[in-house]
């Protein structure tokens, strides 16, 4: 990695820390709740909680184009990884109509080594479905906004809580729907949630520009290497 790439990665890491620091400053620890916010089970703050399935035939049934099928490999804490995004056709998608994604849905990995990873679905992959390893959390936005719920889940404290739940009494890490529904979630006033979201959006804009710069740097590096060795 070049010095320029290292510098960009360092700045991206600082942005991540900045958002987490702002969250703690505004809302405190979402698990111990030192600020005394109201707490509700997740099912009372959402209009949908549900996961899908893998189409018959598994990987061999995926298409080059079509409706996006989100798998756990695409969901990371705070961001969506487009690499390896699968696609299915209309017929396959019709069997997953109970997990049609909508704009601003929160995605939560619920099985395996990537359990508890969480992000908001990007609009540019819609229409989309999820498989059985990813859960859709659709916020009741009169009570809680997606960016705030996502921040709760990806906080260090809540990640530890989710891992403890996932590892309890099972041979494989898993978060069942029943466990997800009763997760205790702090609910600060919407004005504060929106204030936090505005802060995150500003940071995201700067982060997006940096990621573009990093991609250009990596593309240029590959081109120079090919030219050098050709």
- State the DSSP string of 114-137: TTT-EEEPPGGG-SEEE-TTEEEE
Beta carbons within 8 Å of 132's beta carbon, 6+ residues apart? 51, 52, 53, 54, 111
- DSSP-derived letter for residue 174 is B
Q: Where are the alpha helices (DSSP H) in the chain?
A: 3-27, 90-94, 146-154, 156-167, 177-181, 190-229
User: What per-residue confidence (pLDDT) applies to 224?
Assistant: 78
Q: Please count the residues of the chain.
A: 230
How do 184-187 and 38-41 pair as beta strands? antiparallel
Domains parsed from the chain with CATH numbers? 1-37+188-230 (1.10.287.1120), 40-185 (3.90.220.20)
| pLDDT at residue 222 is higher than 80 | no
| pLDDT at residue 156 is higher than 80 | yes
The predicted-structure confidence for 159-200, as pLDDT tens digits, reads as follows 999 999 999 866 678 999 999 999 999 999 999 999 999 999
Give the position of tokens 């030219």: 227
Cα–Cα–Cα angle for 205, 149, 172, rounded to 5 degrees: 110
């Amino acid at each position: 990695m070049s010095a320029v790439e290292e510098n960009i990665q360092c700045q991206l890491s600082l942005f991540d820390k900045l958002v987490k620091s702002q969250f703690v400053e505004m809302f405190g620890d979402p698990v111990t709740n030192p600020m005394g916010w109201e707490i509700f089970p997740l099912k009372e703050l959402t209009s949908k909680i549900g996961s899908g399935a893998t189409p018959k035939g598994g990987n061999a049934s995926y298409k080059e184009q079509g409706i996006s099928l989100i798998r756990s490999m695409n969901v990371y804490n705070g961001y969506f990884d487009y690499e390896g995004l699968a696609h299915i056709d209309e017929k396959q998608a019709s069997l997953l109509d109970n997990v049609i994604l909508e704009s601003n849905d929160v995605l939560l990995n619920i099985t395996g080594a990537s359990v508890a990873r969480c992000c908001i679905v990007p609009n540019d992959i819609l229409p989309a479905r999820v498989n059985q390893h990813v859960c859709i959390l659709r916020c009741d936005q009169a009570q809680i906004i997606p960016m705030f719920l996502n921040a709760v889940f990806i906080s260090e404290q809540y990640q530890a809580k989710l891992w403890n739940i996932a590892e309890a009494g099972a041979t494989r890490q898993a978060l069942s729907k029943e466990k997800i529904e009763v997760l205790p979630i702090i609910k600060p006033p919407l004005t504060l949630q929106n204030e936090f979201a505005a802060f995150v959006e500003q940071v995201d804009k700067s982060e997006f520009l940096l990621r573009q710069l990093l991609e250009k740097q990596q593309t240029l590096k590959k081109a120079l290497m090919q030219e050098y060795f050709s």
